[in-house]
Structure 1
Amino acid sequence: MGTSTSSKGPASGVSLDPPWLDDVIDGVGSGCDVVPPDDGADPGSPVVPPGIAPPNRYGDARRAFGKFARTGSTDQLRRAIGHYSSKGGGGAGASANRMRASTSAGAALFSFLNAIGQGSTPEARQWVDNLRATNPSAENVVDAIVRELAPPGGSADEESLRDSMDHALSELIKDNPAIDPLSMGVDNIWELMKGYLANEAGNRLCFDLGPVFENSQLDPRTAVQREREMRRFLKNEIGAHVDLLRNSVANPSRSQLASILQEALKMTFDLFEADL
Structure 2
Amino acid sequence: MGTSTSSTGPSSGVSLDPPWLDDVVGEIGSGSTVVPNDGDPPAPPSAPNGDAPPNRYGDARREFGKFARTGDTRHLRNAVAHYSRRGSGGASATAGRMRASTSAGAALFSFLNAVSQGTTGEVRKWVDDLRASNPSAEDVVDVIVRELAPPGGSADEESFRDAMDLAVSELIKDDPTIDPLSMGVDDIWELLKGFLAIETGNRLCFDLGPIFEGSQLEPRTVVLREKEMRRFLKNEIGAHVDMLRGSVANPSRSQLDSILQDALKMTFELFEADL
Q: TM-score, normalised by structure 2?
A: 0.97
Deviations 1:191-224 (A, max 9, x none): 0000000000000001000001111211111111
Question: Is the contact between residue 17 and residue 48 of structure 2 (CA under 8 Å) also seen in structure 1?
Answer: no
How far did 1:4 drift? Answer: 4.2
Spell out structure 1 runs of 4+ moving beyond 4 A: none
Task: Please name the residue that 1:157 is paired with.
Answer: 156
How far did 1:36 drift? Answer: 3.1
Question: Is the contact between residue 81 and residue 269 of structure 1 (CA under 8 Å) also seen in structure 2?
Answer: yes
Question: Is the contact between residue 3 and residue 213 of structure 1 (CA under 8 Å) also seen in structure 2?
Answer: no
Unpaired segments ≥5 residues, structure 1: none
Q: In 1, distance between residues paired with 2:192 and 2:260?
A: 8
Task: Please name the residue that 2:42 is paired with.
Answer: 42
Task: Please name the residue that 2:57 is paired with.
Answer: 58
Q: In 2, distance between residues paired with 1:5 and 1:152?
A: 18
Q: Give the direction of change, closer, same or farther, for the CA distance of 1:48–1:166 in structure 2 (3 Å limit).
A: closer
Q: In 1, distance between residues paired with 2:29 and 2:41?
A: 17
How far did 1:227 drift? Answer: 1.1
Task: Please name the residue that 1:219 is paired with.
Answer: 218
Unpaired segments ≥5 residues, structure 2: none
Counterpart amino acid of residue 23 in structure 2: D
Counterpart amino acid of residue 144 in structure 2: I
Task: Please name the residue that 2:261 is paired with.
Answer: 262
Counterpart amino acid of residue 139 in structure 2: N
Question: Is the contact between residue 68 and residue 225 of structure 2 (CA under 8 Å) also seen in structure 1?
Answer: yes
Q: In 1, distance between residues paired with 2:196 and 2:48?
A: 24
Question: Is the contact between residue 24 and residue 151 of structure 1 (CA under 8 Å) also seen in structure 2?
Answer: no
How far did 1:38 drift? Answer: 4.3
Q: In 2, distance between residues paired with 1:239 and 1:227?
A: 17
Question: Is the contact between residue 48 and residue 89 of structure 2 (CA under 8 Å) also seen in structure 1?
Answer: no
Q: In 2, distance between residues paired with 1:157 and 1:5?
A: 13
Task: Please name the residue that 2:30 is paired with.
Answer: 30
How far did 1:46 drift? Answer: 3.3
How far did 1:250 drift? Answer: 1.9
Q: In 2, distance between residues paired with 1:4 and 1:68?
A: 14
Q: RMSD over aligned Cα, in angstroms?
A: 1.2
Task: Please name the residue that 1:200 is paired with.
Answer: 199
Question: Is the contact between residue 116 and residue 182 of structure 2 (CA under 8 Å) also seen in structure 1?
Answer: yes
Q: In 2, distance between residues paired with 1:263 and 1:60?
A: 25
Task: Please name the residue that 1:88 is paired with.
Answer: 87
Q: Give the direction of change, closer, same or farther, for the CA distance of 1:171–1:5 in structure 2 (3 Å limit).
A: closer
Task: Please name the residue that 1:190 is paired with.
Answer: 189
How far did 1:231 drift? Answer: 0.8
Question: Is the contact between residue 40 and residue 253 of structure 1 (CA under 8 Å) also seen in structure 2?
Answer: no
Counterpart amino acid of residue 91 in structure 1: G
Deviations 1:45-92 (A, max 9, x none): 233553311111000000000011111111111100000000011000
Counterpart amino acid of residue 79 in structure 1: N
How far did 1:259 drift? Answer: 0.4
Q: In 2, distance between residues paired with 1:93 and 1:163?
A: 24
Q: In 1, distance between residues paired with 2:49 and 2:2?
A: 26
Q: In 1, distance between residues paired with 2:252 and 2:273?
A: 31
Question: Is the contact between residue 72 and residue 226 of structure 1 (CA under 8 Å) also seen in structure 2?
Answer: yes
2:43 is aligned with 1:8: no
Deviations 1:13-42 (A, max 9, x none): 111111221111111111112123343252
2:100 is aligned with 1:101: yes
Which runs of structure 2 are paired with 1:106-125 in the superposition (5 Å)?
A: 106-125=105-124
Q: In 2, distance between residues paired with 1:18 and 1:42?
A: 19
Q: Percent of aligned positions with the same letter in both sequences? A: 77
